[in-house]
Structure 1
Amino acid sequence: MNETKSPDARDVERLFASEFGAQYTDRNRAIDPRKPAFFHDLFRRHGIRRVLECGSNLGLNLTDCVGDPEMDVWGIDIQRGAIRDAWASRAGGNFVVGSLFDLPFRDGRFDLAFTCGVLIHVPPAGIRDAIREMHRVSSRYLLCAEYHDDRDEVAVPWRGQAAALFRRNYKKLFLELFPDLVVVEEGYKGQEEGFDRITWHLFRKP
């Protein structure tokens, strides 16, 4: 494991709630249309209708899902400006300000809870709590789409922050926490497909 001192579980969350997070939002106001199409197609294929994206920012990953009248679409993010803009720009969907460590939803509220490029920013002190919360609010599926590393965890300096990005073996981590999860689909999406080199895993709860 990298020897960089890990921040407290809430430190990076406070960072993304600040001007640093607002700048992140401004850098990511456009999306390749293949990305929301991928998520929508994946969810429809598995009969997923009630969706929560944890760390949704502007809600761009949910664009195609929001446009589907059969889907109940939610996003949550710690960055207030992003949530405000998500409400202003989306033609539907529900977006709330909140913490990944304390999701304001009842147990099993959604068919699926997912992240895309979000768990990479959760420090070691909070990663298991974040995954447990995702597991708690989902009745059927979990999806993570993150930067993979065969090693358990590697801290990567990112935009002037020594420990704000962590590559991990996320599949291994999810299955260690919840051994009864079943991997139903997984893959890799590169820049030539509209993604930023992410490895994704769709898990089904028993």
Structure 2
Amino acid sequence: MAIEIKNTQENFWSSDFGKEYTDRNSRDTRDWDKFYLDTYGVTKTTINEKILGNLPKDAKILEVGCNTGMQLVGLQKMGFTNLYGVELQPYAVEQAKKYTQNINIIQGSGFELPFKDNYFDLVCTNGVLIHIAPENHHGFMSEIVRCSKKYITGFEYFIEGDVESVNYRGNEGFLWKADFCSIYKKTFPNLDVIQKDFYPYITDKNLIDCMFLLEKK
């Protein structure tokens, strides 16, 4: 069944631009680790261990906006066995079959996740909230909160203060920096901030990412 397009951002990522993004950013595990080492001086596995190291390996985990599933493969290599992904771009879902095994990846929208309330122990995003327009934060985040039984994590561009729009490959209105952890907390008072770790870019001193962990009360 075709996914109903909800807004300008979904239309943009469903287009050829989204397909080109998938081709440009699909890596095997070795190149994935090298990308994080070159960018932050630390692997994503190490970043994840700091946040998720105490989580049971059979925890049910969903990544929203998983693209070809590289982040989920990283979690799988850490020993996690109950992994799901939702991705809007149908081409990326097809490509995921080349990169993943025993991971449940389906086409779907983060604005209407096809799962029951509290279905997952943890719901995460990796570089996805940055592409959601500020006026749509509540709708997107509310689905993540709804589907999570306990934890929410994100790895996203960070900036203190107001949300800042960034030109993205010549396109305006498709990339933002923000303190997404604080937006979650302000929007959903039933969330507690458990951890926030910051990762400045080695390659660009003007950029910093934040990995955060929230827990539902």
The two structures have a TM-score, normalised by structure 2, of 0.83
**Residues 164 and 9 (structure 1 numbering): CA distance in 2 closer, same or farther, change over 3 Å?**
farther
Q: Classify the secondary structure of the residue corresponding to 1:128.
A: helix
Runs of 4+ that moved beyond 6 A: none
How many angstroms does 1:154 deviate by? Answer: 1.1
Aligned to 1:17: 14
1:173 counterpart = 2:183: yes
**Residues 175 and 70 (structure 1 numbering): CA distance in 2 closer, same or farther, change over 3 Å?**
closer
Aligned to 1:29: 26
Contact kept, 8 Å, 2:51 with 2:213, in 1: the verdict is: no
RMSD: 2.2
Q: Classify the secondary structure of the residue corresponding to 2:181.
A: helix
1:71 counterpart = 2:68: no
Q: Classify the secondary structure of the residue corresponding to 1:45.
A: coil
Q: Classify the secondary structure of the residue corresponding to 2:63.
A: strand
Amino acid at match of 1:176: K
Aligned to 1:186: 196
Aligned to 2:153: 143
Distance in structure 1 (CA, Å) of the matches to 2:193 and 2:106: 29
Segments of structure 2 that go 5 or more residues without pairing to the other structure are: 35-42
Distance in structure 2 (CA, Å) of the matches to 1:63 and 1:85: 13
Q: Classify the secondary structure of the residue corresponding to 2:194.
A: strand
Distance in structure 2 (CA, Å) of the matches to 1:189 and 1:28: 20
Task: Give the number of aligned pairs.
Answer: 197
How many angstroms does 1:113 deviate by? Answer: 0.6
The two structures have a TM-score, normalised by structure 1, of 0.87
Contact kept, 8 Å, 2:141 with 2:184, in 1: the verdict is: yes
Amino acid at match of 1:156: V
Distance in structure 2 (CA, Å) of the matches to 1:17 and 1:148: 25
Contact kept, 8 Å, 1:153 with 1:166, in 2: the verdict is: yes
Aligned to 2:209: 198
Q: Classify the secondary structure of the residue corresponding to 1:182.
A: strand
Segments of structure 1 that go 5 or more residues without pairing to the other structure are: 1-7
Distance in structure 1 (CA, Å) of the matches to 2:65 and 2:7: 14
1:95 counterpart = 2:113: no
Contact kept, 8 Å, 1:37 with 1:64, in 2: the verdict is: no
Aligned to 1:131: 141
Amino acid at match of 1:26: D
Worse-matched range after superposition: 148-157 or 39-48: 39-48
Aligned to 1:57: 67
Amino acid at match of 1:39: N
CA deviations over 1:145-169 (Å, ceiling 9, x no partner): 1111112211111112111001112
How many angstroms does 1:183 deviate by? Answer: 1.4
